């Protein structure tokens, strides 16, 4: 696999151009630029993009704290709608699991029928064009404009809204593919891992830059061995997060999401990125001193995302439990084959 | 992916992306092992299973220091699993670094006795290919590939520790060669090995450039004037040695590389030494035994499963990182920074396994047990202090990482 430097440069250029530490909500400029460059449908079948490409894009988005639902739209909603044979709406999308029983008659053909149900903490809910819902063995595409929004956020002030679909007629409904729930969870965890790895790198880059300029006791704090060692430790965590998330994306690309090796890879990556997030946020704040703990400093854009994202799409306990369960099931002789795939 | 793009770093409040710090690549891109290596891996596993079934050895922790078994090394040589990356004209097998990686990680995970050939296979062979003369290659490489010629490492000295530029062993120019005087320490296996490379001063110290004036000599350990004295480990086991030179004659044909280039030659090899699977698998046999103990027990609670899961997630990640470095080395890069990161994380992970094993299974470590969990735990506890020392202490490695990130 060749490193996709063109894609990395393009993503870097888009996210740096629209950088605005004071803004919240959807970054429509960045979204439009991504859409025009095909980045919002990067892994759709006809674009030639791969999960390795998506890894580069999402890691870069994480490093810039980009306010665009790229993972949700491309990796999750686009995939889920297409896999159910449904059209993919234009614009920002989300995909969630939910229970949307018919509002009235529960028998017969539901085409044209309304649904009823509430979807909690939908990423970017207020800014979406559509929501793709996995409801048991069916997939529904909903027009976001028809939903009632109750606004909420995560720790990073990213929208996590509650959407009420009661009385809404789906745009389209189709059968869910086999294993859709598992794959949706793995895709979400993979996307989140890549974003975490990027945010960790962004926070570390800030701390390294700050340590070179901030003077204490007559010299830059980067000259103090204790500070160097803290930042070196953060460097090992950033490297681990980058390696784990990129390797998981590559495994998913080559083996497919149904492979046991992909489940292990994504689970290990999300857990490892979550552990790295904790260490990197702690160290980068310590290096910044009190200024990094203020709203006016943009370190918070990265560290609040590290804290929010480590708990979204399954935290370290959830995924390490999955890995530990698999390891114990493999037993002493099966553990090594499990790790090596 | 690490290093491709840069992130903004502001030195003061909300300065925006114009003021950026570009981090270097911390880890190379992911490597996927070619599918045909699955066959090689299966062959190695079948061989190791047969050896264990025959009672040829039992799995141990830290085998690349303590598992000296010349017979096992010869059997590996017969199978073509030593000197794998050495060209066939020197008795090697002309295979790729990734093929070698598969064999070595299988040996370490099995806890097989690999110490006898480890140094020769890992770094002496590649070094001879890079810097050695044709005569030196012919003289040593075929024996290394057969598993019959074993090497140590003659770098460290009393008081030098990780500060290799401080070495004081001197070689004086004499007719037809060099005369060597001084002392090397911590030389694993010197009492059983045939030779080592000694890093020595061939010119007086230049305080302005401490790395100048160092050279490497290939010292056959049976030369007159070489004295080898054991330095027992705290276990009482004999792996380390002090090697003293009293005016040992080293002929010109045993000068390794160029006189005065010793520092560059040595540091160029460190990426190979620091990033391999031995930097996170020293206690893998204990992790496997721990899983065995828990599997045999009365079920596991969520905390235990998560602790095991965290260890396995870390192991999977470290292996991905180590493979990425191996891939970069194979394509001719020298990822010194990434190698230092792998060694720091990996050797700390080796210790994490020890702590988890202690705390999850209430069995006292037993150095006298013939094999099994209690014996592996005892080995691992007693060997653990070395993990974060050998190959450069983790504190020194953090200095390398800090320099790589532009902090010094």
Mutate which of B13, B25, B29 to test chain A, going by most A C-beta atoms within 10 A?
B29
pLDDT of residue B333 exceeding 90: no
pLDDT of residue A238: 98
How many Cβ atoms from other residues are within 10 Å of residue A108's Cβ? 8
pLDDT in tens, A271-285: 999 999 999 999 999
Q: Is B50 exposed, middle or buried (0-12, 13-18, 19+ CB in 10 A)?
A: exposed
pLDDT surpasses 80 at B299? no
Confidence (pLDDT) at A110: 52
Interface size between A and B, measured as CB pairs under 8 A: 262
Determine the residue among A208, A210, A232 to mutate to test chain B binding: the one whose Cβ has the most chain B Cβ atoms within 10 Å: A232
pLDDT band at B297 (very low <50, low <70, confident <90, very high): confident
Q: Which residues pair with B255 in a beta bridge?
A: B217
Read off the pLDDT band of B6 (50, 70, 90): very low
* B contact test, residue of A190, A243, A341 with most B CBs within 10 A: A243
Separation CA A1–CA B213 (nearest Å): 42
- C-alpha angle with apex A130: A126 to A133, nearest 5 degrees? 105
Share of chain A above pLDDT 90, in %: 94
pLDDT tens profile A14-36: 999 999 999 999 999 999 999 99
Q: Pick the closest to residue A266 from A341, A177, A321, A191 (CA basis).
A: A191
pLDDT of A336 = 98
Give the one of B7, B109, B291 whose C-beta lies nearest to A63's C-beta. B7
pLDDT digits (tens, 9 = 90+) for A96-137: 999 998 754 444 455 568 999 999 999 999 999 999 999 999
Name which of A11, A321, A339 is nearest B316 (Cβ-Cβ). A339
Residue pLDDT, tens place only, B167-205: 999 999 999 999 999 999 999 999 999 999 999 999 999
Q: What's the pLDDT score for residue B274?
A: 84
Share of chain B above pLDDT 70, in %: 94
Q: What is the mean pLDDT of residues B234-244?
A: 95
* Shortest Cα–Cα distance, A221 to chain B (Å): 9
Count of CB atoms within 10 A of residue A109's CB? 8
Cβ-in-10-Å burial (0-12, 13-18, 19+) of B359 comes to exposed
Distance between A27 CA and the closest CA of chain B, angstroms: 16
Of B14, B318, B406, the CB nearest to A21: B14
Q: Which residue of A has its CA nearest to B345?
A: A236
Query: Over the stretch A176-199, which tens digit does the pLDDT of each residue have?
Result: 999 999 999 999 999 999 999 999
Q: Does B368 contact A at CB distance below 8 Å?
A: no
Task: Give the span between the Cα atoms of A87 and A83, in whole angstroms.
Answer: 10
Cβ contact, residue pair A240, B345, below 8 Å:
yes
Note the pLDDT of residue B22. Answer: 80
pLDDT score at A103: 53
**Mean pLDDT across A300-304:** 98
As for the ipTM of the complex, it is 0.96
Q: Confidence band (pLDDT; 50, 70, 90) for B371?
A: confident
Share of chain B above pLDDT 90, in %: 84
Distance CA B401, CA B398 (A): 5
Which residue's structure tokens are 């004081």? B168
Higher-confidence position of B162 and B337? B337
CA distance B271 to B27: 13
pLDDT value for B326? 92
The answer to whether the CB of A171 falls within 8 A of the CB of A141 is yes
Residue A1 has pLDDT above 50, yes or no: no
pLDDT, position A114: 92
CA distance A160 to chain B (A): 25
B88 vs B141: CA distance, rounded Å: 10
Kind and range of the H or E run holding A161? strand A160-164
Asked whether residue B268 carries a pLDDT value surpassing 80, the answer given is no
- In B, minimum Cα distance to A298 occurs at B14
B91 vs A15: CA distance, rounded Å = 54
B42-68: pLDDT as tens digits: 999 999 999 999 999 999 999 999 999
* Residue A231: band (very low, low, confident or very high) from pLDDT cuts 50, 70, 90: very high
pLDDT band at B228 (very low <50, low <70, confident <90, very high): very high
Residues from chain B contacting residue A269 (CB–CB below 8 Å): 313, 317
B23-52 residues touching A, CB cutoff 8 A: 23, 26-27, 29-30, 32, 41
Q: Measured between CB atoms, does B8 come within 8 Å of chain A?
A: yes
Q: How far apart are CA B51 and CA B164, in angstroms?
A: 40
Residue in this structure with the two tokens 């004659």, named with its chain if needed: B249
Name the active-site residue from B273, B278, B293, B350: B273
Tell me what pLDDT residue A284 has.
98
Please answer yes or no on whether A8 and B320 come within 8 Å at the CB atom: no
Beta bridge partners of B230: B241
Contact A180, A83 (CB under 8 A): yes
- Residue A4: predicted pLDDT: 79
What is the model's pLDDT at position B405?
A: 94
CA-nearest residue to A301 within chain B is: B14
Q: Does A268 sit within 8 Å of B317, measured CB to CB?
A: yes
pLDDT at residue A2 above 70? Answer: no
* Residue A79 in this model has a pLDDT that exceeds 80: yes
Q: Is pLDDT at A333 greater than 50 in this prediction?
A: yes
Q: For residues B390 and B162, what is the distance between their CA atoms, to the nearest angstrom? A: 9
**HSE, side-chain direction, 13 A CA sphere, residue B92:** 23
Q: Is B278 a catalytic residue?
A: no
């Amino acid at each position: 696999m060749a490193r996709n430097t063109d894609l990395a440069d393009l993503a870097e250029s888009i996210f740096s151009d629209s950088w605005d530490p004071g803004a919240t909500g959807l970054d429509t400029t960045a979204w439009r630029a991504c859409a025009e460059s095909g980045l919002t449908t990067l892994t759709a079948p006809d674009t030639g993009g791969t999960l390795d490409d998506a890894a580069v894009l999402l890691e870069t988005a994480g490093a810039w704290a980009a306010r665009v639902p790229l993972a949700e739209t491309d990796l999750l909603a686009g995939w889920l709608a297409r896999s159910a044979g449904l059209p993919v709406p234009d614009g920002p999308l989300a995909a969630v699991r939910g229970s949307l029983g018919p509002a009235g008659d529960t028998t017969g053909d539901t085409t044209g029928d309304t649904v009823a149900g509430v979807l909690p903490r939908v990423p970017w809910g207020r800014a979406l064009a559509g929501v793709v819902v996995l409801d048991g063995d069916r997939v529904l595409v909903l027009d976001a404009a028809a939903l009632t929004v109750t606004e909420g956020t995560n720790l990073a002030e990213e929208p996590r809204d509650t959407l009420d679909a009661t009385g809404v007629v789906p745009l389209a409904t189709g059968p869910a593919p086999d294993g859709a729930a598992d794959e949706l969870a793995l895709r979400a965890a993979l996307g989140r891992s890549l974003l975490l790895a990027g945010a960790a790198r962004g926070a570390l880059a800030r701390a390294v830059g700050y340590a070179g300029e901030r003077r204490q006791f007559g010299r830059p704090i980067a000259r103090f061995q204790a500070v160097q060692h803290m930042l070196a430790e953060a460097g090992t965590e950033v490297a681990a997060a980058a390696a784990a998330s990129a390797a998981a994306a590559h495994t998913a690309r080559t083996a497919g999401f149904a492979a046991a090796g992909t489940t292990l890879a994504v689970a290990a990556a999300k857990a490892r990125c979550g552990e790295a997030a904790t260490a990197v946020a702690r160290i980068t704040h310590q290096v910044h001193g009190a200024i990094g703990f203020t709203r006016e400093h943009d370190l918070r854009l990265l560290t609040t995302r590290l804290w929010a994202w480590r708990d979204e799409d399954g935290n370290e306990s959830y995924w390490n439990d999955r890995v530990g369960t698999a390891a114990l099931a493999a037993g002493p002789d099966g553990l090594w084959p499990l790790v090596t795939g | 992916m690490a290093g491709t793009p840069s992130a903004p770093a502001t030195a003061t409040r909300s300065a925006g992306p114009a003021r950026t710090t570009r981090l270097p690549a911390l880890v190379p891109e992911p490597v996927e092992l070619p599918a045909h290596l699955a066959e090689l891996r299966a062959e190695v596993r079948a061989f190791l299973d047969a050896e264990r079934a025959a009672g040829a050895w039992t799995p141990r922790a830290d085998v690349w220091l303590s598992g000296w078994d010349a017979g096992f090394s010869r059997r590996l040589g017969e199978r073509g699993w030593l000197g794998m990356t050495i060209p066939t004209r020197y008795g090697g097998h002309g295979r790729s670094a990734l093929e070698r990686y598969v064999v070595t990680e299988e040996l370490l995970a099995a806890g097989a006795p690999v110490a006898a050939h480890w140094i020769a296979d890992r770094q002496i062979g590649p070094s001879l290919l890079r810097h050695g003369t044709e005569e030196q290659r012919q003289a040593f490489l075929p024996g290394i590939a057969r598993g019959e010629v074993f090497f140590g490492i003659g770098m460290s000295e009393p008081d030098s520790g990780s500060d290799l530029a401080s070495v004081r062993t001197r070689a004086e120019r004499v007719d037809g060669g060099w005369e060597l005087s001084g002392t090397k320490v911590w030389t694993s296996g010197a009492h059983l090995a045939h030779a080592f490379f000694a890093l020595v001063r061939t010119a007086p110290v230049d305080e302005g450039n401490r790395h100048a004036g160092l050279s490497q000599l290939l010292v056959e350990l049976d030369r007159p004037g070489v004295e080898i004295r054991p330095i027992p480990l705290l276990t009482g086991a004999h792996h380390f040695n002090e090697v003293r030179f009293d005016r040992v004659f080293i002929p010109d044909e045993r000068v390794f590389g160029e006189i005065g280039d010793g520092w560059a030659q040595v540091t160029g090899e460190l990426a190979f030494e620091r990033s391999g699977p031995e930097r996170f698998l020293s206690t893998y046999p204990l992790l496997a035994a721990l899983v065995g103990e828990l599997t045999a027990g009365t079920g596991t609670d969520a905390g235990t499963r998560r602790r095991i899961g965290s260890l396995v997630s870390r192991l999977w990640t470290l292996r991905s990182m180590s493979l990425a470095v191996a891939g970069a080395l194979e394509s001719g890069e020298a990822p010194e920074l990434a190698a230092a990161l792998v060694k720091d994380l990996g050797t700390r992970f080796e210790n994490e396994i020890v702590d988890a094993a202690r705390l999850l299974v209430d069995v006292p470590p037993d150095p006298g047990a013939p094999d099994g969990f209690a014996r592996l735990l005892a080995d691992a506890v007693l060997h653990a202090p070395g993990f974060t020392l050998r190959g450069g202490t983790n504190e020194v490695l953090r200095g390398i990482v800090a320099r790589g990130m532009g902090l010094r």
